Amino acid sequence: MSDAAIGLTCIVVSIFLIQTGMHIAISLMLLSFVGIWLVRGWNVAGAMLSRSAYDSIAVDALAVIPLFVLMGLLVAGAGIGRDTFDLASRGMRGVRGGLGMATVGANAVFAACTGTSIASASVFTRIAIPEMLRYGYSPRFAVGCVAGSSVLGMLIPPSLLFIVYGIIAQVSIGHLFIAGVLPGLFLAVAYIGMIWAMARYSERRVYATSYGDAQEIERTNSLQITGSLISRLTPVFFIVGVVLGGIYAGFFTPNQAGAVGAAAAFLVGLYRRLFTPKGLLDIALETGRVTAAILFLLMAAQMYSQMLTVTGLPEDLARWVEQSKLSFPLLISGYLLLIIIMGCFLDSLSIMLIVVPFALEIIPKTDLIWFGVITVVAVEIGLLTPPFGVACFVTHSNLQRKDITLNDVFAGTLPFTIMMFIVLVILTLFPKISTALL
């Protein structure tokens, strides 16, 4: 068996092992060791992988991970998710599909404070879905709206996927954050426009009752929002302004912005008296668990990249691509389609760790910032597609209602998945949308 064939076999077997339930990092490490062992021998495999394991995490740039994880957990604990939804729903009251639009808008704002889709899906399942059902929206639309718009958490910065991509591709995480702003807002606006069209031209997909009956329900069960609009908005814009404004203006590095954002969220929670000693301890422990898991994955990704280099598979494929004279649009289309298909079976981090190091070797030189944006959007589509669909599973498990099945969640997210695919095509055809702010 040739070296390149060994590398290809390791990739296929790693995907199979992940599908069987083996931890992503363990499967990548195992196959990386086996691959190098078969090509270079036992001693070389042990030496190379031990060195790459140390080198992969002994860098200051990785401090951004625990800081943004901590910030996201503190933001969730400070009740900012409920505030954003309450304010958005008040502004959209009386508009067709207004609560759906409010959910998208609140998710967009919350995403700018957390950086993860799973947190968004968890928070808004408990906040938005009960309110939407109470106001006469159909269950499928309500769960689909929350799960569908939760993907904004990984696109609108700060985003953990952008951090992971930046480390793998060795590009500026700050530039990736800035590049994600316009695509994230574009996707949010596209979702809102789609909801308006559905509510106007396909009312039964949005409302369980007629729109007139839903309006009456809203009049008799209007939300009681305490406090002034300004006092509720101040913490949200304070945190977003500190993090993104500081990075964009050049006041902070991403590491420093994460630390300042976490401190700002902590102060908001203290001011509102929402943090208890036990709650803060739980947040600290969860930050440690999430950070350790991500660093373990990055260590495995570095080993996996070393294995690919040793087997020479990327170089062989790059030569094949050059000899076959495949056009750049065809290569990008195939790459994105592969990611979307893998999203049906693997989680976001698995796809990033398996595909991105490989793609960077065979895709001709291109703008790595734009490439990162379209990669993250394509990966995020996988959060909504069956049978894996992590965002759908999170929404369903947090909802805990027997009358709303997992199939209802997948059916409800279908329009959002289609719209996200359309946005991906537009971002691919018009790279300036992603790079305009740089």
At 162-205, the pLDDT tens digits run 988 998 888 988 899 889 999 999 999 999 999 999 988 888 88
pLDDT at 110: 76
Average pLDDT value for the chain: 80
Cβ–Cβ under 8 Å, residues 121 and 72: no
Cβ–Cβ under 8 Å, residues 152 and 184: yes
At 290-303, the pLDDT tens digits run 788 777 877 877 78
DSSP 207: B
pLDDT at 183: 94
Q: Of 120-129, 219-228, 264-273, 311-320, which gets the smallest average pLDDT? A: 219-228
pLDDT at 218: 46
Full residue range of the structural domain in which residue 425 is found = 3-435
**Total tally of structural domains belonging to the chain:** 1
DSSP 241: I
pLDDT at 326: 76
Side chain identity at 433, as an amino acid letter? I
Q: Which helix or strand (DSSP H or E) is residue 288 part of? A: helix 277-311
Q: 298: which 2 tokens?
A: 């990055």
CA dist., res. 273 & res. 78, Å (int): 9
At 327-348, the pLDDT tens digits run 888 889 989 998 888 887 777 8
| Highest mean predicted confidence (pLDDT) among 207-221, 373-387, 424-438 | 424-438
pLDDT at 401: 78
pLDDT at 209: 63
Residue 399: φ, ψ to 5°: -70, -40
pLDDT at 61: 65
Q: Which residue has the higher pLDDT, 202 or 223?
A: 202
Q: 402: which 2 tokens?
A: 């027997």
For residue 119, give Cα distances in angstroms to 194, 315, 392: 24, 39, 13
Contacts 24+ apart (CB under 8 A), 85-90: 85/124, 85/127, 85/128, 85/131, 86/223, 86/225, 86/232, 87/225, 87/229, 87/232, 87/233, 89/131, 89/223, 90/223, 90/225
At 5-59, the pLDDT tens digits run 888 888 888 878 877 778 777 888 888 888 888 888 888 788 877 777 777 677 6
